[in-house]
Chain A
Amino acid sequence: MAFHPISRRTVLGAALGTAFAFSAAASAQATEITLGALRLTSHSPTYIALERGYFAEEGLEVELAFFESSAAMAVGVAGGDLDYGVTSITGGLMNLAQRGVVKVIGGALAEDPAVEGAVILASNAAYDAGLTEPSMLPGHSFGVTTAGSSFHYMLSRIAEGEGFEIGDVTMRPLQQVGAIVGAITSGQIDAWAIQPSIANRLVNEGAAHRIGAISDYDPSYQVTAIFTSTEIASEEREQTEAFLRALSRGVADYNAAFVDKTASQEDVDALIDIVHGYVNSDTPRETFARSLTEGSMRINEGLSLSTTSVQAQLDWMQAEELVSSDITLEMLVDPSYVETH
């Protein structure tokens, strides 16, 4: 009996020792980073870079943290739980940047007149009642997640392009994309603007009508951006550059397969399988493959960033008094990592 605990302790000690040895060896080879991700097709490059080993080749060991919304991801990076994230450029991100905790280091999803981008939708009831063009939006309701979100910004672009007051459209904040989908399907709101993967599904199902495209109003709209904490942006240059290089390879694969359609069918199928493993895994592969090949927006090659668009969004947020007028582009963006235009 007396020997029993000793022998058990010895075994445990040996096991722990081995574990330490292994982890020490691993950390010598790879830098561990935590990456925020949403289960959306716009995050495909992350999954592609991970599954094809692009991160590993750069010596990065990536752990994914899944989020429900990009707003929560911004707070995750600010709080130090995440190293990198991809989010829409929102008022929340700008306010966090003002507090000196996050920096945008690259661009991701963007409008491109040559590729189908965000679609303006009308509910069936509103369409039948005459809402067939974006210029007829005044007097109707428009779904957004919250004030200061990308949906709010898109509405403002339409208003500016068509020359009506944004106040003439009733904005309906519904917090979640799912709630907006339900509201437009049941005709509780009249109109919405959303990325093509969701818009095409709604139009194909006969749940809504397409009445326009956002690229007609803002052809260079930078929708999402890559961001990190100010600390990492300024002190972990090598790691950040490696991360952006690896992710860029994922972006190149994604654009070739789903946007420019220059990749071989074999390659496309392989990529669909990778993304399907993370996004909408419960939908049939065929349906998913169709939405991915038909409804993918361009992600900037080399993760370049349209600072012109970011500046325009910042100006608008400030004019609407959604963010402080003290915020500057320099607070928000660290332009030293990627090409800006």
Chain B
Amino acid sequence: MADTPLLAAGTLPPSRPVTPAKGQPVPFRGGGFQPVPIRGVAILVFVLLIAALELGTRTGVISNLTMPPPSAIVETLWNLAASGRLWTHLYPSLTRLVIGAAIGTTLGIAIGTMIGLFSLARAGLVPLVSALFPIPKIALLPLFVIWFGIGESSKYALIAFGTFTPTVVATFGAVDNVDRTLIRMGQSFGLSWWSVVRKIVLPGAFPGILSGLRVSIAIGIILLVAAEMLGAEHGIGAYILEAGSLYDLERLFAGVTVLSVMGVTLSWLIGLLERRFLSWRS
């Protein structure tokens, strides 16, 4: 009752200290901080940007040395697709990306999970991964050629190596972030170690692993161009490099557009995976 004098000094009657009798209504302050999908905005941004570029290059405000008009890029892409050469470039690139990234991410998830689960693996491998991560993989390209030859295997190796380290880091981070109380609960219900890993740790780490995969795949696409610097006659990266050395901006941007579309498509596929496997979250 020590606070009664204070309340008595105010406007509220001392008998009902918690509910305001006839104060202002309290507005609902929740909500927000929750991204909602808005249709059409992404397309609007693209359309505005491309329209501005088209206008700029056509009127000559942007010189033809710095940017080709988007319509010319579309025309180049169309010709590339119509002549069937898009496929001759896309097929080897996709093969390299899929095989390289599959090796890199599978190994990465395996090693990352081991680091997350076993203290010995963590003590031994985390410094190694930290040492490997910042190495520019492109700088190792000549070495990869000596190790794996000039053919396809050096390209797989480069992409695998590039996607491996970010996947390891994302995976052990995701395993670390699994709710410990859930693990303790499983243990107190008498689940075996393997059951805890399979039913609690791995499903709990999955969202983190998938978002790490988005980064790894993007890095894989970046490295595709580097991998095709050496001895690739066909491939989107080889096509871009050739266009660059010919100073053919239309082809350069057409190739870059294909890479971007690849990135968007793969990100969308990972989004599908997320929705398929993580529907239990909501």
Contact = CB atoms under 8 A, between A and B. Distances in A.
Chain B, interface residues (CB within 8 Å), range: 10 to 19
Interface stretch (B190-198, B227-235, B267-275): B227-235
Contact of A182 (B142, B241, B245): B142
Contact of B150 (A91, A101, A189): A189
A179 B142 contact: yes
A220 interface: no
B91 interface: no
A30 interface: no
Given A146-B242, A147-B242, A179-B142, A95 B229 contact: no
B150 A148 contact: no
A156 to B, nearest CB: 15
Interface in A59-90: 71, 74-75, 78-79, 90
Interface stretch (A41-49, A168-176, A196-204, A236-244): A168-176
Contact of B246 (A91, A99, A175, A179): A91
Contacts of A92: 245-247
A173 B233 contact: yes
Nearest to B66: A79
B146 interface: yes
Nearest to B228: A173
B149 interface: yes
A244 to B, nearest CB: 25
B135 interface: no
Contact of A148 (B142, B149, B232, B246): B246
A74 B247 contact: yes
B6 interface: no
Contacts of B229: 174-175
B150 A188 contact: yes
A186 B238 CA distance: 22
Contacts of A79: 65
Contacts of A183: 145, 150, 231
A207 interface: no
Nearest to B229: A175
Nearest to A94: B246
B149 A173 contact: no
A329 interface: no
Interface in A154-179: 170-175, 179
A183 B247 CA distance: 26
Interface string B224-254: 0000011111000010011001111000000
Contacts of B146: 182, 186
B64 interface: yes
Contacts of B145: 179, 182-183, 188
A173 B245 CA distance: 11
Contacts of A78: 65, 247
Contacts of A182: 142, 145-146
Contact of A175 (B65, B149, B150, B230): B230
Chain A, interface residues (CB within 8 Å), range: 20 to 34
A323 interface: yes
A188 B150 CA distance: 6
A69 to B, nearest CB: 9
B242 A179 contact: no
A90 B245 contact: yes
A172 B65 contact: no
Nearest to A75: B247
A101 B65 contact: yes
Contact of B230 (A71, A101, A149, A174): A174
Select the residue from A79, A170, A183, A323 with max chain B CB neighbours within 10 A. A183
B233 A188 contact: no
Contacts of B142: 179, 182
Contacts of B247: 71, 74-75, 78, 91-93, 95-96
A33 interface: no
Nearest to A96: B247
A338 interface: no
Contact of B245 (A101, A145, A172, A186): A145
A322 interface: yes
Given A74-B247, A179-B230, A188-B231, A173 B242 contact: yes
A154 B145 CA distance: 25
Interface in A89-126: 90-93, 95-96, 99, 101
A149 B244 CA distance: 12
Interface string A15-32: 000000000000000000
Nearest to A171: B233
A325 to B, nearest CB: 13
Contacts of B232: 173
Q: Which 8 A-B pairs give the minimum distances between C-beta atoms?
A: A146-B245, A188-B150, A91-B246, A92-B247, A172-B231, A95-B247, A147-B242, A92-B246
Given A146-B241, A148-B246, 16 more contacts: A92-B245, A95-B246, A95-B248, A146-B242, A147-B242, A147-B245, A148-B242, A170-B233, A172-B231, A173-B238, A173-B242, A175-B229, A188-B145, A188-B150, A189-B150, A323-B246
24 contacts: A74-B247, A90-B245, A91-B245, A91-B247, A91-B248, A95-B248, A99-B65, A101-B65, A149-B245, A171-B233, A172-B231, A173-B231, A173-B242, A174-B229, A174-B230, A175-B241, A179-B142, A182-B146, A183-B145, A183-B150, A183-B231, A188-B145, A188-B149, A323-B246
